[in-house]
Structure 1
Amino acid sequence: IHVEKLHLLNHAGQERITWRVLNYNEQSHTFNGMNELTRYFYDELNQLNDEQNVFICDRTVECAWGLFNMTTPAKKVLHLHNNHVSDAKDIMHSTLNNNYANALNNWAAWDAVISATPEQTKDVEARFGKDIPAFTIPVGYVDNATLKAAPVKFDQRQKDLVVQVARLAPEKQQNHSIEAFVEVHKQFPDAKLELWGYANGDIEKQLHAQVAAAHLEDVVLFKGYTTDVNAVYNRAQLGLLPSRAEGFSLMLLEAQAHGLPMVANDVKYGPSDIIQDHKSGILTTDGDVQQLTKTILELLKNQGQLAQYSAQAYENAKRYSEEAAFKQWQALLDYFKPAKVTA
């Protein structure tokens, strides 16, 4: 046994949790909570070499306090891999995303910040200033094996198959996809909408009820979780992502890498950076279900255009190759030389 978690009751009957590290360097240590244990771990890790280390924090709720309270010197980098505000329409004044609030309210404690898109980098600098360097690095890349794989011929894809690959969650707005498919089904009776992803809370019940009320049970299919999402991208003719907010969207990047044309809302952040509008997909307006419906119908009616979008999607994905992504990381590494980076 190396670590123990102790649940105790104080005199008021309230639970108190302590952590014990046993027989570490011939000593045992007790910590009042996970934050103190995490801070101790970072300090110990930081002393394993004689170099200036850099810690990159992409889960600030778990790691920010420990980094802020280290007793040994180190460089600290904030990594924003999602929208940093609650209301993307009011970047300068909106309340902060709960996951990043503590980190951003302690802006001066960081030595650099990473955002996933140029637009987010610009917005972060506008609100918090340019007193620390800001780097733009995508949160994903397309591996060389995928880029070198033979493209799926468009006529081998399942005709009129539309997919949405995302958590079943309010912000992903599968309800808009279902609403759009009411009209799509009228004009394309054989068209199918597959919803892939696990559910958050009771949203799946709500979506099932919406499908039942529209009598689309044989058309809108809930496919759940898959360990082979690439097969989904390779089989479909069109993908949807009518989200009201995104951080970068690995789904869009994965879909483009597999030649899947996408229809996605032009929201902060990611869709406009990944999708080449009217070349590898189409950007739509959040909340405009009529526009979403019209776009799906026009694309399904024009199979030739869809095939062109598919070919361009394969080309578009090359912008996010391993080499291209590492060049952006290299700028961060060069900034901290001769520091050693620990992520």
Structure 2
Amino acid sequence: MPRFDLPLQALRAYLPEVDEPTDFDGFWAATLRESRAAGATAEAAGASGNAVVRTPVPSPLALFDVEDVRFPGFAGDPVRAWLVLPRGLPRPLPAVVEFVGYGRGRGLAHERLHWPSAGYAQLIVDTRGQGSQYGTGGATPDPHGSGPAAPGFLTRGIDAPETYYYRRVFTDAVRAIDAVRTFPEIDPAAVAVVGNSQGGAIAIAAAGLSDGLVAVLPSAPILSDLRRVIGLTGEEPYAEIVRYLAVHRGAEDRIFETLSYFDGVSFAKRATAPALFSTGHMDTIAPPSGVYAAKNHWGAPAELVDYPWNHHEGGESVHWERQAEWLAEVLAYA
């Protein structure tokens, strides 16, 4: 794959002005207020409703405790997650809330033990309606319908921001942070969010919508600088929107108006926690200019690690070592 995006010096200076609706903050404040109210109603209903429920899970893991967590997300809908707690460490623990990539679910609790092995509590959050394209599955339905859409998730409910799929997903992410902060084993002032690809986009949105996070670690995030990156390559998932617009001729302005409520750049401007990004310069799924757009607009100190010869896999395990070292340093000074 030849290089296709801006050269490194241009990326470092890239600061695009993205479409941002005048009611962006009001839209998200109302969305979160309504969902928190629905969650409070669920809590009042007890275990028979969609309150936060933690269920210990038998596991062959000798060094970790595993729990199946259910918490109220968008509109109070039940969302599932795994909570993995390292044994034998002083509590309360710092926590990492992890969001997963496009098409996969939370999988099995023993699949990603690197953060708990480093001494963190880890909440691995399901993505509603996903979990059947690869990996080992998910357990959270999306009970809300949508109008006509291309196969995939990026065009579901895209006719209006109120019905758009990622309104529900991003709200679920904020509610996951709300939930984990109530757990007595976890220090509510030491919660970080992390994710790769779609998970990175969700982490960015959560950072822009949540106060008091200690750190944000998005790797190869999608969904930033959408006017540029949609159509820049032919790769999924942006190709879903291209196919949709190819059929719905003349809908471009309306569709991009909806997407303006979900562009990672707008969330990045509102972030208050330090961030560590990464990008592969050969990445045609999350083009580096989109990643740099979010990083360069970040509302707090931010670093970005370049992998000049990598595609969407980025730094993989090499980058996780960098993340772990960086997060430990952040926590030491928090």
TM normalised by structure 1 equals: 0.32
Bigger CA radius of gyration: 1
